[in-house]
Amino acid sequence: MITIALSKGRIFDEAVPLLESAGIVARDDPETSRKLILRTSRRDVRLIIVRATDVPIYVRYGAADLGVAGKDVLDEHGGAGLYQPLDLKIARCRMVVAAPDGFDYRHAVKQGGRLRVATKYVHTAREHFAAKGVHADVIRLHGSMELAPLTGLADAIVDLVSTGRTLRANRLKAVEEIAPLSARLIVNQAALKLKRPAIQPLLDAFARAAS
C-alpha cells in the first residue's frame, strides 16, 4: 500500500489532475466527506487528509510514503530528512512583506529602527530581515495576519499572496517579495528504497504531468 498525504483545499484541488495522470482518483471528496483516509481507484494507493503543516510530519515518520507540501511549509518547519524530488508547480504564490497603504516601508527599514512584524512564518521572517540587516521583532500569529497592522499589533506582516485580493480588501500592499513558492512532492527516504517499484512510476507520472 502507498499512502499519500495531502491537505484539503487548494493543494488537494490542484493535485487532482496530477494524481489522475498516475491513475489515482479519490473515491470521496474531502470537502464533503468527513473521512480522513480516502480510498482511490487504485487498490494499492490511499490518500490521507491532514493539516498543511502536518504533511511533512507524516512523511518524515513514514506514516505516509509521499506527500504534497507547500515550499512555505517546508522552509518554515524544515524539510530535513525528506527527499524532495519534484516541484509540482501547483499552489503557486509568493511570500511577501505587506504593510498598510500609507506605511513608508523603505524609510522604516532604512532608519535602522525596529520593525514589528506579525506572521505565522516566524522562521522565514527572521531569516529574511536578518539577511537584510533589519531589526525585526517577530510576533507569531496563527491566522488572519492582515488584521495585525490594522489594529496596531504590528507594522507589517509576512504572508503568502497570489492575486493580492485579500491584501487589497484590507488596504495592505506587498512592499517586498521574499520568494516565489509552489507545492513540492516529498518522499519518505526509507519508503523510496523499500517500495521503489511502486513509487518510481508515480514519481515519473507526476514529473510528466507537472512539466
* Cα(14)–Cα(2) distance, integer angstroms: 20
143 binds ligand ATP (CB under 6 A): yes
| Residue 6 β-bridge partners | 49
172 binds ligand ATP (CB under 6 A): no
72 binds ligand ATP (CB under 6 A): yes
Query: Strands across the sheet with 66-70, in order?
Result: 37-39, 45-49, 2-6, 66-70, 183-188, 82-87
Choose which of 19, 52, 138, 202 interacts with ligand ATP (CB under 6 A). Answer: 52
CB closer to ligand ATP out of 6 and 24: 6
Choose which of 111, 144, 162, 189 interacts with ligand ATP (CB under 6 A). Answer: 162
Burial of 75 (0-12, 13-18, 19+ CB in 10 A): middle
Choose which of 56, 70, 79, 149 interacts with ligand ATP (CB under 6 A). Answer: 70
* Cα(148)–Cα(99) distance, integer angstroms: 10
Choose which of 63, 139, 153, 160 interacts with ligand ATP (CB under 6 A). Answer: 160
Grid coordinates belonging to 196: 521503489
115 binds ligand ATP (CB under 6 A): no
6 binds ligand ATP (CB under 6 A): no
CB contact at 8 A, 205 and 22: yes
CB of 2 to ligand ATP, least distance (A): 22
Count interface residues toward ligand ATP (CB under 6 A). Answer: 17
The separation between the first and the last C-alpha atoms of the chain, rounded to the nearest angstrom, is 27
Q: What one-character DSSP code corresponds to residue 78? A: -
Interacting residues with ligand ATP between 83 and 112 (CB under 6 A): 91-93
By the criterion CB under 6 A, which residues form the site for ligand ATP? 7, 9-11, 52-53, 70, 72-73, 91-93, 143, 160, 162, 181, 183
